[in-house]
Amino acid sequence: MRGEHRRRRKPVVTGWRGRALVAVLGVGALAAGTGVIALSQSDGRVARLSSLSTPTAPAPTCADAATMPLRAALAQTLMVGVAAPTRAELTQLAKLGIGGLFLHGDGMRELTDGRLKRLAKSAVPPLVSADDEGGRVQRIAAAGSMRSARKQAQLRPDQVRALARKRGEKLHRYGITMNLAPVVDLAGNNPAIGDRAYAARPDDVSRFAGAFAAGMREAGVLPTLKHFPGHGRATGDSHRGAAVTPPVASLRASDWKPYRTLGATGTAVMMGHLTVPGLSTKGLPSSLDPAVYRALRTEIGFDGLVVTDELSEMKAVPFGIGQSLRRAIGAGADLALFFAAPARVPKLLDSLERDVRAGRLSEARVREAAGRVLAAKTCS
């Protein structure tokens, strides 16, 4: 690719244990002396894990999810959505030790005055995320406009990769470290997805979404494949109510292929709020359903970070936020995404602590989730 000889690329590490190496060694140590790379190549094929050499110098380490206080581990499982957060609100959330921050909106001030960048100086900084797919879903106006996934698919994969790398570099300069994109749903008749999907064929989706994810990782931004178990061919819109996918056998044969192809290339996965005939537990959207998380972990073999779609406002979620957080984490989510005023978060943590003490939420599950969140970060 043009310009490769002038740019040292950030490594992309596969799997939870691979990302744990980033948490322990730091990105700089990996870039200096390792070959742990798993990126989509310019023609869209996926390169697999290569060898890891010994780092030349020690690097800072993250907190230990197994020994950190329970409240701190619970805080790591929360991704709080905020719009135009003030410095005081960001400071409050940082002190609580939340695992992630989701920027809802395109406020210029917090992007350009350095307040997000200062979060990176925390001992265990939160993942700072945004929806930046392109087209009708791009929240960061300061980064300029980007074409939709459907229009990206009119380019070559190497061009998509370059586009995503350039975009990711802009996001990273503002302090954004996680992008809730690319969409790997198959194109179908669902208007909630529409031109957010790259293509109808799984191999085409894998080729272009893989290129986009690779470019983001090269820029130091964690990409997120979404919306498992597959929204593109579903009926209904989970923003407005129940959304039902084709039967599970159909998903296994097509919609899940991009996750199998790309799930070991250094990405997170977003769990949607969907109902899957033949798999789902009655009354539970996939974001709250252990059966669907088991399918992702065991059938797909995904061992990385799983974040839910938004839990507090999307109508497919039938419970209040406190119960939804408990159910999502208990079912298998590592990061539970929701909108809330920062002042409300301590009370939600109080509620989750009571859930653990009362046996309604497994402490082991909490610490497993916190471990994956910490492994996805580079800590200072």
- The active-site residue, picked from 239, 334, 350, 355, is 239
Q: Is 185 a catalytic residue?
A: no
Q: Exactly one of 132, 195, 204, 309 is catalytic; name it.
A: 309
Is 350 known to be catalytic? no
For residue 215, what is the enclosing H or E element? helix 202-218
Residue 372 sits at the vertex; the CA angle it makes with 326 and 117, to the nearest 5 degrees, is 100
CA angle 97, 319, 360 (to 5 degrees): 60
Q: How many CA atoms lie within 13 A of 145 on its CB side?
A: 5
C-alpha span between 16 and 321 (Å, rounded):
27
Omega into 229 within 30° of 0, i.e. cis? yes
Whole-angstrom distance, CA of residue 39 vs CA of residue 309? 25
CA angle 150, 234, 296 (to 5 degrees): 90
Q: DSSP per residue over 291-306, as a string?
A: HHHHIIIIIS---S-E
| Residue 107 token pair | 């406020």
**Distance (Å, whole) CA 103 – CA 80:** 9
Q: Which residues are catalytically annotated? A: 239, 309
